[in-house]
Amino acid sequence: MKSSQFQGGLDLLKAEAWVLGIEKLFEMFPCSETQKVLLATFTLEDEARRWWMLMRENNKSIGWVRFLEIFYEKYFPQCVRDKKVSEFMELKQNSMTVAEYEGKFTELARSAPHVVGTNYKKARHFEGGLRDDILEKVNVLKLETYIKVLDRAIISEANIARQAKPATD
Q: pLDDT tens digits, residue range 24-41?
A: 999 999 899 999 999 999
Into how many domains does the chain fold? 2
Whether 97 is in a domain gets the answer yes
**Do 59 and 48 lie in a common domain?**
yes
Domain that holds residue 130: 79-164
Please tell me whether residues 103 and 159 are part of one structural domain: yes
Examine the domain organization and report whether 115 and 102 are in the same domain: yes
CA distance 125 to 58: 41
CA distance 91 to 68: 26
Q: Which of 76, 103, 130 is the last residue of a domain?
A: 76
Q: Tell whether 70 and 95 lie within a shared domain.
A: no
**How far is Cα 95 from Cα 70, in angstroms, rounded to an integer?**
38
Q: Do 128 and 62 fall within a single domain?
A: no
Look at residues 76, 96, 123 and tell me which one is the last residue of a structural domain. Answer: 76
* Helix ranges (DSSP H) in the chain: 12-28, 33-42, 46-56, 64-75, 78-90, 98-109, 119-128, 132-138, 146-164
User: Does residue 102 sit in the same domain as residue 145?
Assistant: yes
pLDDT at 4: 79
Positions of the chain with pLDDT lower than 50, given as ranges: none
